[in-house]
């Protein structure tokens, strides 16, 4: 009897977590397609295959859902950008993969950061995450030099990608080559 109840409780807890994750993924994916103010709870519920009441039961409010989605998005982006420490080519390849997949939405989020406080928190956390990524990935090459880290943040930033990829119309390969050249230039300057 006790085994059956334990199994039922685990299955129920697993179903709750699965539903919660589906809702977060739904908002995350909708956020890659349109502005957050244009995404309703109905939209999220429909995309997640649940009712609005289920969304509210899990998150309490739209604002709380967005806060949870911010944590979810930051964790997902961090996993997408994982790269070996000290390996410039692998780091740049992982970064370009990420920018190709998420760069346009990052630019869209940055355009909203002044008009939506929650999006502003997301973009600020994104900036912090990017700096931490640069600091970690290039650590053995810059030895904590803040000047070099600042320059590497700029050389690998999504705006740098946008300027080369969209504004200049370069291919992904050309964009990666130029961004890698910027990183190489920063690293050579920092070593002097």
pLDDT at 2: 58
Report d(CA 36, CA 81) in Å as an integer.
24
Task: Give residue-wise pLDDT tens across range 65-84.
Answer: 988 888 888 888 888 888 99
Backbone angles phi, psi at 82, to 5 degrees: -60, 135
Report d(CA 175, CA 9) in Å as an integer.
51
CB 80 within 8 A of CB 98: yes
Domain ranges for the chain: 1-77, 81-192
Options 3.10.20.740, 1.20.1600.10, 3.10.20.30, 1.10.357.10; CATH for 1-77 is: 1.10.357.10
**Contacts (Cβ under 8 Å, ≥6 apart) of 142:** 148, 149, 152, 187, 190
**Does the pLDDT of residue 49 top 80, yes or no?**
yes
pLDDT at 192: 47
Q: What is the mean pLDDT of the chain?
A: 89
Task: Give residue-wise pLDDT tens across range 159-182.
Answer: 999 999 999 999 999 999 999 999
**Does the pLDDT of residue 145 top 80, yes or no?**
yes
Task: Give residue-wise pLDDT tens across range 90-139.
Answer: 999 999 999 999 899 889 889 888 988 888 888 899 999 999 999 999 99
Helices (H) and strands (E) in the chain, counts: 10, 0
């Amino acid at each position: 009897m006790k085994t059956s109840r334990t199994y039922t409780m685990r299955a129920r807890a697993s179903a709750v977590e699965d539903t919660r994750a589906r809702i977060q993924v739904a908002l995350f994916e909708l956020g890659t397609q349109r502005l957050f103010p244009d995404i309703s709870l109905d939209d999220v519920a429909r995309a997640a295959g649940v009712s609005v009441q289920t969304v509210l039961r899990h998150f309490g409010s739209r604002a709380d859902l967005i806060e949870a989605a911010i944590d979810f998005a930051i964790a997902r982006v961090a996993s997408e950008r994982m790269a070996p420490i000290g390996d410039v080519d692998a780091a740049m390849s992982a970064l370009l993969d990420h920018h190709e997949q998420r760069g346009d939405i990052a630019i869209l989020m940055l355009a909203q950061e002044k008009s939506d406080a929650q999006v502003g928190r997301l973009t600020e956390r994104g900036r912090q995450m990017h700096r931490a990524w640069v600091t970690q990935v290039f650590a053995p090459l810059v030895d904590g030099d803040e000047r070099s880290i600042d320059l590497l943040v700029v050389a690998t930033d999504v705006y740098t990608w946008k300027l080369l990829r969209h504004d200049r119309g370069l291919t992904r390969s050309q964009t990666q080559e130029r961004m890698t050249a910027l990183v190489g230039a920063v690293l050579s300057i920092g070593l002097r």
